[in-house]
Structure 1
Amino acid sequence: MTAATLPAAPASAQPERTKQRVLELLKRHGTLTAQALASGLSVSVPAARRHVQDLQEQGLIEARTERPGGRGRPQHVFGLTERGEAAFPKTYSTLCVDVLRHVEGLFGEGAVMQVLGARSAEVAVGLRSEVPDDLPLEERVRHLAERLCGTGFDAVVEPGAEGTWYIVERNCPNLTVARQYGELCASELDMFVNVLGVPVTRDTRIACGQGTCRYRIGP
């Protein structure tokens, strides 16, 4: 793909729209050089680089080094990160709901909890291998919250009274599924208990219309 083949954006595009256009170009064409992006945006190369830098700071795109066609002199190109890919609509949630609906229809109501419970148990085994039981509870809670952030939950840790802690999830990337299958939230709660080895209760739930999923952790 050469710069000359990229569609040009209107010169009057606003900065945020221009940044969105950068993401769209990278989604459509894969990796591109700053020069190719500038041509596609109808802006100067320095202007394109400013937009690229902003998007890099937001974690949406990353710089790479590639050889054109696998040969020739290496060149710096830019491509979407996993977070950048997530900015585009996906149908995963619809697929997941359809699969769970068929599981329930074929094997009965309890089958959905069995499937999701098995998945959570598997995740818990992996996490427990990373978080030894002899670590202080705060460290285990913070490690779990960090892993949750990595999967889109935007989790933060808050101290509570008498040695308790809270994990507060400010986003639910599985909201479409959770609204139709409460078993998903139940399996998440079980996973927290398995990983942390202490009582965990949920005070609020996004799938029920509340602003966060708030978990109380500790005795």
Structure 2
Amino acid sequence: MTALPSPAPAAAPPPAPERTKHRLLELLKRGGPQTVQDLAVGLGVSVPGARRHLIDLQEQGLIEARTERPGGRGRPQHVFGLTDRGEAAFPKTYSTLCVDVLRHVQELFGEGAVLQVLDARSAELAQRLRDDLPDTLPLEERVRRLSEWLTGAGFDAVVEPGEDGAWYVVERNCPNLTVARQYPQLCRSELGMFVGVLGVPVTRETRIACGQGSCRYRIGP
């Protein structure tokens, strides 16, 4: 009896799209800006396939395209690199570093020194923001611009109108949560910055660092 031929081994399934995108981000993180051809080789996919993933990541704001000359000479070529948002997708130890620095400040100079350091930082930020939020603008416009800046800084902020003429800024994320939980002076300093920028009373009603779902600020009378 003639033996039947063994079935051919099944082809390995293609990598999941999200896994491929993650590998693409890792290639850019480790190798810096690269062309679509280089990335296709690194991923083991076709150039059109790599381009599709690049377009998706661009739409998500994780990478950006720019034109560079290799080694500063030669024909310009399009390369892709990580944006700040793309960089933020990788683990960072900034919060640990910040906590360590504030702990040493407190041990060396006392608890009040921590607030002084954070207040100085907030005052500098407020000075920068005043250029974009001049007193000549209506309060609503200034609150909305502040909310946009906060969102860009990672706070995922939205503006809500109040029933009595006040406005509310609601921060749905706290990028500084690790620090804020150990040093509430950071939240006090943020509140002072809002007052310094807007020039009106500001009251914090809820706080993420206390276990609530958002940091909610009432702005105005």
TM bracket (short chain): over 0.9
- In angstroms, what is the RMSD of aligned CA positions? 1.2
Q: Is the 8 A contact 1:11 1:43 kept in 2?
A: no
Q: Hey, what's the Cα distance between the residues in 2 that align with 1:212 and 1:146?
A: 16
Q: Name the residue aligned to 1:126.
A: 128
SS of residue matched to 2:131? helix
Which letter does structure 1 place at the counterpart of 2:33?
A: T
Tell me which residue corresponds to 1:92: 94
Larger mean Cα displacement after TM superposition, 65-74 or 43-52: 65-74
> Cα offset for 1:11?
6.5
1:47 aligns with 2:38: no
| 1:201 aligned counterpart, secondary structure | strand
Rounded to whole Å, the distance in 1 between the matches of 2:132 and 2:42 is 45
Runs of 4+ with >2 A deviation:
none
Match in the other structure for 1:211: 213
Residue 168 of structure 1 aligns to a residue in which SS?
Answer: strand
Aligned residue runs from structure 1 range 45-194, under 5 A:
45-194=47-196
The separation in 2 between residues aligned to 1:42 and 1:51, in whole angstroms, is 13
In 1, the alpha carbon distance for the partners of 2:141 and 2:66 equals 34
| CA displacement at 1:129 relative to structure 2 | 2.7
| Number of residue-to-residue matches in the alignment | 210
Task: State the Cα distance separating 1:182 from its structure 2 match.
Answer: 0.2
Asked if structure 2 preserves the Cα contact closer than 8 Å seen for 1:138 and 1:165, the reply is: yes
Q: In the alignment, residue 208 of structure 1 is paired with which amino acid?
A: C
Give 1:41 deviation, angstroms: 1.1
The aligned amino acid for 1:211 is G
Query: Residue 38 in 1 paired to residue 40 in 2?
Result: yes
1:48-104 alpha-carbon deviations (Å, 9 max, x no partner)? 100000000111000111112222211111000111111111111111000000000
Q: Matches of 1:70 and 1:123 in 2, distance apart?
A: 36
Structure 1: unaligned runs, 5 residues or longer: 1-9
- Aligned residue identity for 1:206: I
**Structure 2 stretches lacking a partner, 5+ long:** 1-11
Q: 2:17 aligns with which of 4, 12, 15?
A: 15
Rounded to whole Å, the distance in 2 between the matches of 1:119 and 1:34 is 41
The residue type equivalent to 1:82 in the other structure is D
Query: For the residues of structure 2 that align with 1:126 and 1:174, how far apart are their CA atoms?
Result: 20
Deviation string, structure 1 residues 97-130 (Cα, Å, up to 9, x no partner): 0000000000011110111011111211221232
Structure 1 or 2, whichever has the larger Rg, is 2
How many Å separate the matches in 1 of 2:107 and 2:13?
Answer: 54
Q: 2:98, 2:169 → 1: CA distance?
A: 26
Aligned CA distance change for structure 1 residues 129 and 68 (closer, same or farther; 3 Å)? closer
Which amino acid is 2:100 matched to?
A: D
What percent identity do the matched residue pairs reach? 79
